[in-house]
Amino acid sequence: MTLQNPLWLFVIASAICVVGIFFSFKQMVSNIVSSEYSQELFAKEFERFIVRLAAIEAVPVLLIAFGILQIFGSFQIIDHPVVEPVVPLIVTLLIMAFGAVNIFLTRMQIQQDPHLTDSAKRYVANQSIIVLALVNALPLISLVFCMMVLTGSV
């Protein structure tokens, strides 16, 4: 089976990744906010987040692998049509912006909560930077492949 534009696999993978990681981050933050300060709680919540992250990333990684196989010709037909990369590129950028904006909004909401301890606020601020990197990792791979197709590298 071949897709007319395998770059949409990258877009779908990016969307699954960003939305899944964002909601997992929100869940981790809400668990931290709803309980008392404890270093053990922070460690336990981060461990849960990493486990959820691994589960969330499984399907997008498979989609990326399948998209790479299609782009580099394993499943292509000889007369493969020209792939239009502009729309998937724009959608991927919008997905990345969605993730970044929502993570920063969550962080700002926590920073402005007067009932939270400074330790909890620092923890969420540090974790938001880590999550921002994680949420943009897979979409960056999508952007690279879109740019490769746009410049004719593949």
- In 3D space, the residue among 21, 58, 26 whose CA is nearest the CA of residue 134 turns out to be 21
Q: Which of 33, 23, 52 is nearest to 109 (CA)?
A: 33
- Taking each helix axis from N to C terminus, what angle separates 7-33 and 118-151, rounded to the nearest 10 degrees? 180
**Low-confidence residues in the chain, pLDDT < 70:** 1-3, 37, 74-82
pLDDT in the model for residue 78: 46
pLDDT tens-digit series, residues 45-90: 889 999 999 999 999 999 999 998 888 875 454 445 567 889 999 9
pLDDT at 5: 84
